[in-house]
Structures are given as structure tokens and as C-alpha cells.
């Protein structure tokens, strides 16, 4: 069986979604931990940003891998959604859910919102195309790269921007709370002895990521970090 045929099968598409999901979750965690250095002050964050910038071609390889992963994640979602929509041409007049939750039922919507937010986030902080403060691209006087710290603080001074970030973070939390637990079942790790733990790990990790990611825009907007 070729890899292409496998990936288009119901289980193969889900496996691709799960594996790309793991990579994306690891990125989300790494991205958050890196950014939390904003609480350590300007030097720590600027140093971290400078290290990333000086990776040169390696940075572009990482970006390319992440973009490919994201495209594969979305493609597999499209395969799965198309199969599922086609599987029930006539819907029930009445159908009651017994076990599934809000997060699981809204994976498609939360996924689309997160995808749109990624576009906005890149245009905002990476390219500085929209809503950017004047300090975007400003260099540090000592030649240590961009003044990322100042850019972040100023970027979150607009309440509307901060609200968009907070809402997107909540939606990401919803997406991950089902996604993380779900991918472990899809990849065949869930069994009788670990089922309860696996069902908890998604929501718990998602809430940790929610708190970490919410703390930065809120701290900047409220002046907790300046």
C-alpha cells in the first residue's frame, strides 16, 4: 500500500493530522516558553530574538518545515471533514450527544479561527504589515539586533489588538484540549490503563498554554511589564 493511498484513507488521514498535530503542539509550547522571557526583561527577550534571527538559513528551514506541517494538518482535516459530511447526506431531525464536548464538536471552527489568527499574527509581529507600532524594526543602540521587547509592549497597547490575541488564545485552548487527547487515541496509545490520564492531558496542557499565552498581552496592556 503506497503512502499516498494510506494518507487518503480514513485512518491514514487521521494519523497525518495527529503527527502534524504533535509537531504543531510542540511548536506552540516552544513559542510560548520563548516568549515568556518577556517577563525576564528587555535584555533576555532581545537576546533570545537575536539568537533566533542569527540562525540564518536554519531559521528558514524551520519556517518551511512548520509551514509544510501546517498545510498537511489542514489538508488532512479537509479529507476527514469531506468524508464525514458525505457519510450522512440526510441528517437527523433530532440527535443528542451523550459524551462528546463543545471542544470536540467545534474542532473545524476553532481550527479555521486559529489558522486565520496565524496569518494575522505573522502579519502583525513577523512582517509588521498591519497594526504595528512605530517601533517595528527599530534596532537596539548597541547593535544587538531588533528591539523586540519594545515592539511587543507597544504592539499590545491597542486594546483591540490585545482582545484579538486573547480570544484567539482561548480558541486555540479549545482546539488543543480535544486535539491533544484525541491524537493519542488516533495513534493507538490509549488503552484501559491510561485512558483517564490521556483524556485529562489535553485539557490540562491546553489550560497551561492558555494561561501562559494570555499572560503576555494582558501584562503589556495593563502596564505590568513596560
Residues belonging to the chain? 226
Q: How far apart are CA 214 and CA 74, in angstroms?
A: 25
| 13 in contact with another protein (CB under 8 A) | yes
The minimum distance between CB 211 and another protein, in angstroms, equals 25
Q: Which is nearer to another protein, 205 or 216 (CB)?
A: 205
Q: Which of 12, 34, 145, 212 binds another protein (CB under 8 A)?
A: 12
Q: Which of 112, 185, 201, 212 binds another protein (CB under 8 A)?
A: 185
Q: Which is nearer to another protein, 85 or 109 (CB)?
A: 85
Q: How far apart are CA 220 and CA 135, in angstroms?
A: 15
- 40-75 burial, b at 16+ Cβ within 10 Å, e below that, comes to eebeebbbbbeeeeeeeeeeeeeeeebeebbebbee
| 196 in contact with another protein (CB under 8 A) | no
- Contact segment (CB under 8 A) with another protein among 62-70, 98-106, 118-126, 203-211 equals 98-106
| 4 in contact with another protein (CB under 8 A) | no
Q: How far apart are CA 149 and CA 37, in angstroms?
A: 10
Strands (E), the chain: none
Question: Where in 20-79 is the site for another protein (CB under 8 A)?
Answer: 79
Alpha helices in 87-194 (DSSP H): 102-105, 107-121, 148-155, 159-186
Binding stretches for another protein (CB under 8 A): 1, 6, 9-15, 79-80, 83-100, 104-105, 107, 178, 181-182, 185-192, 195
Amino acid at each position: 500500500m503506497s503512502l499516498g493511498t494510506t494518507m487518503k484513507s480514513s485512518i491514514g488521514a487521521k494519523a497525518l493530522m495527529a503527527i502534524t498535530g504533535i509537531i504543531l503542539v510542540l511548536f506552540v509550547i516552544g513559542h510560548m516558553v520563548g516568549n515568556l522571557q518577556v517577563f525576564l526583561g528587555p535584555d533576555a527577550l532581545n537576546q533570545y530574538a537575536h539568537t533566533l534571527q542569527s540562525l540564518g538559513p536554519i531559521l528558514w528551514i524551520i519556517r518551511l518545515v512548520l509551514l509544510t506541517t501546517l498545510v498537511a494538518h489542514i489538508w488532512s482535516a479537509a479529507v476527514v471533514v469531506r468524508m464525514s459530511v458525505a457519510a450522512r447526506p440526510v441528517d437527523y431531525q433530532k440527535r443528542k450527544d451523550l459524551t462528546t464536548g463543545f471542544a470536540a464538536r467545534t474542532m473545524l471552527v476553532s481550527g479555521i479561527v486559529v489558522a486565520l489568527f496565524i496569518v494575522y499574527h505573522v502579519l502583525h509581529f513577523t512582517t509588521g504589515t498591519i497594526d504595528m507600532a512605530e517601533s517595528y524594526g527599530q534596532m537596539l543602540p548597541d547593535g544587538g539586533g531588533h528591539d523586540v521587547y519594545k515592539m511587543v509592549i507597544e504592539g499590545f497597547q491597542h486594546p483591540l489588538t490585545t482582545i484579538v490575541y486573547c480570544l484567539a488564545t482561548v480558541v486555540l485552548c479549545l482546539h488543543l484540549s480535544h486535539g491533544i487527547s484525541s491524537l493519542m487515541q488516533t495513534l493507538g496509545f490509549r488503552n484501559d490503563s491510561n485512558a483517564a490520564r490521556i483524556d485529562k492531558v489535553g485539557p490540562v496542557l491546553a489550560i497551561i498554554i492558555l494561561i501562559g499565552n494570555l499572560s503576555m498581552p494582558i501584562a503589556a496592556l495593563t502596564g505590568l511589564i513596560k
